[in-house]
């Protein structure tokens, strides 16, 4: 009897395994993905998630707003992200998906039109990543399915300057777009609707931005002058690298989709209130709301980093504007704009890095910023309150860029680290010895999942300290 059972079991095993692969293969499951779908996904996911991150965490570091509760991050305990403050997986998920687009564009001539956008997006996201964290996995990253799941950390200098790095990808991306002669259209492009010239202008504006970012380490004058002279950068608001949110789900700004308590956790910062008030700047009415206890429709800001246990009354401080919750159809996911480009060029001209009229560039940037935020520009704003010659011209340029980038809070903090402007305040109840952080810490998951490489990077930053400068800031 035992022999009979053994024969039956053997027959069952053979019968089950003979056609196992065929039976367990889903014939309706695609074996490859169209780059058009991935491009749309990368642009939207990165823009949507980083807009939220910029609002909830970046705006605290850049002192645009103050958190009333769940505010360890606002008190500069950056290793304890709460409502926001963990952009690491956003960067790596989208860089990984973007790498698939880049690989497809090089493997299949039918997808060649995607090479330029993929390289430009890789440069854009890699710059955002390294500007926040410093040295990060890069050259061996995004290849976990074929090579390694424990990539080395590359130096920020190499990520910017080496072959395959930020500037190299921007140059190669532009070259790929300029040399493309195919007839297949770029699909899935929610930034420029398939306009390849729009991507070239985007790349050149990014080159201006990143050249200024590293200008303290290398001589960038000739490269900046060449781009400025050629003039093929984002020059009008109609050319901005943005996509629009909607008033309703699912494509509204994320804070509009969450409970009202999450939105009401953020109020006008004392830093922003003082700057806008000193400038008599009417954009305060678009970006913030009069505080509930005001008797004259006034605004009130709160110093960042309060001790939440002390308790404050929400009615005594200005909430963020309705554009961030009730009217998000007026809001954009902002990748790169004409206003930011003009402020960067104004700074370059003021520093003598390019031959151009700094005041004209500065005034254009302000005019476009008011238009972007849908606020009327006061007749005397450029000549009185915000005149370039009214005080320190470089400080004026950076402050105006800081205000304009209110949807990109991390950018305000990064540019503060580079320039020292605006002059951010010592926060109320610091958990970082009253120091303003100058880099983001590596997340704890890195220590667990990539320990050897993490340990080396941690040692190079004095134990993953948030007070150690990145390469371009040294």
pLDDT per residue as tens digits for the range 274-324 = 999 999 999 999 999 999 999 999 999 999 999 977 779 999 999 999 999
pLDDT at residue 385 is higher than 70 = yes
Q: What is the pLDDT of residue 95?
A: 97
Contact 114, 101 (CB under 8 A): yes
Query: Which has the closest alpha carbon to 374: 436, 435, 437, 332?
Result: 332
Retrieve residue 303's tokens: 């110093």
Q: Is 70 exceeded by the pLDDT of residue 3? A: no
Q: Considering the chain, what percentage of its residues have pLDDT values greater than 90?
A: 86
Residue 144 is encoded by which pair of tokens?
């976990």
How far from chain centre, in Å, is Cα 214? 17
The answer to whether residues 438 and 413 touch, using CB atoms and an 8 Å cutoff, is: no
Lowest mean pLDDT among 220-234, 311-325, 368-382: 311-325
* Residue 29: pLDDT over 70: no
DSSP letter for each residue of 265-316: TEEEBHHHHHHHHHTT-TTHHHHB---TT-SSS----B-SS--GGG---GGG
Q: What are phi and psi of 162, to 5 degrees?
A: -85, 170
pLDDT attached to residue 13: 44
What are the residues whose beta carbons fall under 8 Å from the beta carbon of 164, sequence distance 6 or more? 139
Average pLDDT for 265-273:
97
Residue 145: the pLDDT is 64
User: Do residues 177 and 196 make contact, with C-beta atoms less than 8 angstroms apart?
Assistant: yes
C-alpha angle 286/319/437, rounded to 5°?
100
Tell me the three state secondary structure of residue 142. Answer: coil
Q: What is the pLDDT of residue 204?
A: 98
Calpha distance 74→177 (Å, rounded): 42
**pLDDT tens for residues 50-106?**
999 999 999 999 999 999 999 999 999 999 998 899 999 999 999 999 999 999 999
- Mean pLDDT, the chain, whole residue set: 92
pLDDT bucket at 148, cuts 50 / 70 / 90 = confident
More confident residue, 309 or 432: 432
Question: Which tokens in the block code for residue 5?
Answer: 């059972």
Please state, in angstroms and as integers, the Cα–Cα distance from residue 24 to each residue in 15, 17, 31, following that order.
Answer: 14, 10, 14
Of the pLDDT bands very low, low, confident and very high (cuts 50, 70, 90), residue 144 is low
- Provide the pLDDT confidence category of residue 17 given band limits of 50, 70 and 90: very low
What percentage of the chain exceeds 70 in pLDDT? 93
CB contact set of 225 (below 8 Å; sequence gap of 6+): 353, 354, 355
**pLDDT band with cut points at 50, 70 and 90 for residue 393:** very high
Q: Residue 20's pLDDT band (boundaries 50, 70, 90)? A: very low
Could you give the CA distance from residue 204 to residue 340 in angstroms, rounded to a whole number? 13
Tell whether the model's pLDDT for residue 419 goes beyond 90.
yes
For residue 327 the two structure tokens come to 């009217």
pLDDT digits (tens, 9 = 90+) for 161-194: 999 999 999 999 999 999 999 999 999 999 999 9
Residue 361, both tokens: 């560039």
In total, the chain counts a number of residues equal to 474
Contact 442, 464 (CB under 8 A): yes
pLDDT at 19 over 60: no
Judge whether residue 1 has pLDDT over 80: no
Whether the pLDDT of residue 26 is over 90: the answer is: no
Question: 5 exposed, middle or buried (CB, 10 Å; 0-12, 13-18, 19+)?
Answer: exposed
Question: Residue 278 has what pLDDT?
Answer: 98
Mean pLDDT, to the nearest integer, of 449-467?
98
Packing angle, helices 221-230 and 338-350, rounded to 10: 130
* Calpha distance 297→117 (Å, rounded): 46
**Beta strand pairing call for 241-244 and 136-137:** unpaired
Q: Please, what is the end-to-end C-alpha distance for the chain in angstroms?
A: 81
Task: State yes or no: pLDDT of 7 exceeds 80.
Answer: no
Rg for the chain (alpha carbons), in Å?
25
| Residue 35 vs residue 262, higher pLDDT | 35
**Is the pLDDT confidence value at 24 over 50?**
no
Asked whether residue 347 carries a pLDDT value surpassing 60, the answer given is yes
Question: Which region among 86-100, 254-268, 373-387 has the lowest average model confidence (pLDDT)?
Answer: 254-268
């Amino acid at each position: 009897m035992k022999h009979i059972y053994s024969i039956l079991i053997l027959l069952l095993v053979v019968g089950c395994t003979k056609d196992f692969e065929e039976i367990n293969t889903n014939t309706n499951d695609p074996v490859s993905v169209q780059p058009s779908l991935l491009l749309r996904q990368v642009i939207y996911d990165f823009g949507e998630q980083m807009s939220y991150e910029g609002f909830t965490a970046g705006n605290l570091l850049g002192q645009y707003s103050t958190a009333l509760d769940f505010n360890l991050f606002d008190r500069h305990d950056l290793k304890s992200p709460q409502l926001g403050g963990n952009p690491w997986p956003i960067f790596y998920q989208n860089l990984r998906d973007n790498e698939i687009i880049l690989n497809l564009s090089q493997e299949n001539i039918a997808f060649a039109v995607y090479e330029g956008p993929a390289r430009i997006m890789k440069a854009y996201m890699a710059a955002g990543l390294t500007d926040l964290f410093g040295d990060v996995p890069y050259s061996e990253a995004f290849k976990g399915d074929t090579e390694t799941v424990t990539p080395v950390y590359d130096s920020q200098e190499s990520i910017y300057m080496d072959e395959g790095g930020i500037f190299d990808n921007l140059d190669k991306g532009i070259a790929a777009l300029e040399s493309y002669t195919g007839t297949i259209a770029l699909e899935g492009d929610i930034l420029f609707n398939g306009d390849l010239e729009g991507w070239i202008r985007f790349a050149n504006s990014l080159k201006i931005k990143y050249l200024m970012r590293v200008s303290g380490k290398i001589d960038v004058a000739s490269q900046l002058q060449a781009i400025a002279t050629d003039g093929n950068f984002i020059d009008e608001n109609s050319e901005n690298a943005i996509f629009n949110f909607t008033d309703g789900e699912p494509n509204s700004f994320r804070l509009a989709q969450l409970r009202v308590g999450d939105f009401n956790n953020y109020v006008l910062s004392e830093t922003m209130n003082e700057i806008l008030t000193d400038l008599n700047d009417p954009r305060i009415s678009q970006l913030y709301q009069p505080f509930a206890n005001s008797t004259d429709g006034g605004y009130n800001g709160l110093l960042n980093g309060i001790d939440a246990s002390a308790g404050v009354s929400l009615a005594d401080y200005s909430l963020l504007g309705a554009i961030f919750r009730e009217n998000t159809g007026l809001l954009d996911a902002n990748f790169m704009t004409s206003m930011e480009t003009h402020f960067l060029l104004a700074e370059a001209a003021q520093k003598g890095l390019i031959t151009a009229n700094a005041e004209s560039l500065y005034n254009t940037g302000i005019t476009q910023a008011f238009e972007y935020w849908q606020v009327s520009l006061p007749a005397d704003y450029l000549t009185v309150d915000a005149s370039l010659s009214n005080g320190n011209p470089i400080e004026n340029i950076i402050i105006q860029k800081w205000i304009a980038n209110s949807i990109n809070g991390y950018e305000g903090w990064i540019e503060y680290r580079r320039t020292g402007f605006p002059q951010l305040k010592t926060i109320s109840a610091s958990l970082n010895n009253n120091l303003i952080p100058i880099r983001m810490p590596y997340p704890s998951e890195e220590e667990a999942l990539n320990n050897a490489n993490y340990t080396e990077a941690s040692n190079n930053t004095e134990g993953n300290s948030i007070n150690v400068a990145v390469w371009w800031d040294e």
